[in-house]
Chain A
C-alpha cells in the first residue's frame, strides 16, 4: 500500500501560473522528499524536508511540511512547459527499505504553453 497520497492526481495549468501539489501520509516520518519523473524516465530528486522543518525553498520550488496534519505541499512558481512531469512525494516510513522511501502515486502536471 502507498504511504503518501498526492492530490490532485492530475493538474493542468497555463505556463507562468503557479502549481501546487499536496501530499498526505499516514505514519510518523523523519523526512519527506519530492521527486519529478518525466514520462518514462527516471525519478529526479527535487528537495528533502526534515520533520523538524516547516518550509524549504529551492529555486522556483517551495515545500512545506505540517507534521501535525501529516501533509506536505509542493509549490512550483512561474511554471514552464519543461515542468510538465509527474511529481511524487516519498517518505521514510516503513515499507520502503531499511532507509529507503515509500512513494505515493504521484500528481501528473501538465503545463500548457
Chain B
C-alpha cells in the first residue's frame, strides 16, 4: 500500500460526459501528480500541484482540469469525454523535492463508451 488513495477504481461513462477523479496523497506529501496510462501512449504526465498551486503542466488536454485543495487532496476533472480518453489515470504524490521518490495510487480505470 503506497498510501495514495484514488477513487473511484472503475467507472464507465458515455461520450460527452464529465467525470471527476479524486486523489488523497500520502500523509505529509505536498506534491500531487496526475498521469494517464494508455496502451498506445504509455504513461503520460498530465499535471503537477504543489501545496495547492499548479507547478508543472504536461500533456493535459484543455478539456481536462485539475486542482489541489487546502487539505492537499486533488481532483482531476475530465469533460466532453471521447472514446480516446479511455485509460488508466494515476495519481501520485511526493514531498515535492528533486530526486524524491514518487508514490503511485492504484489508479482509476475510465472507460468511455
> Which chain A residues have a beta carbon within 8 Å of chain B's beta carbons?
2, 30-31, 33, 35, 40-45, 48, 50, 88, 92, 95-106
Q: Would B42 and A99 count as touching, CB distance under 8 A?
A: no
Q: How far is the CA of A35 from the CA of B92 in the complex (A)?
A: 13
Q: Say whether chain B's binding surface is mostly helix, strand, loop, or mixed.
A: strand
Stretch at the interface among B11-19, B68-76, B77-85, B93-101: B93-101
Q: Known pairs A43-B43, A43-B92. 11 more at Cβ < 8 A?
A: A30-B98, A41-B106, A42-B2, A42-B104, A43-B90, A43-B104, A98-B55, A99-B99, A100-B56, A100-B94, A105-B42
Contacts of B42 in A (CB 8 A): 2, 103-106
Q: List 17 A-B contacts (CB under 8 A).
A: A33-B102, A35-B104, A41-B107, A42-B107, A43-B104, A45-B101, A45-B104, A92-B98, A97-B33, A97-B47, A98-B55, A100-B45, A100-B94, A102-B45, A103-B43, A104-B42, A105-B42
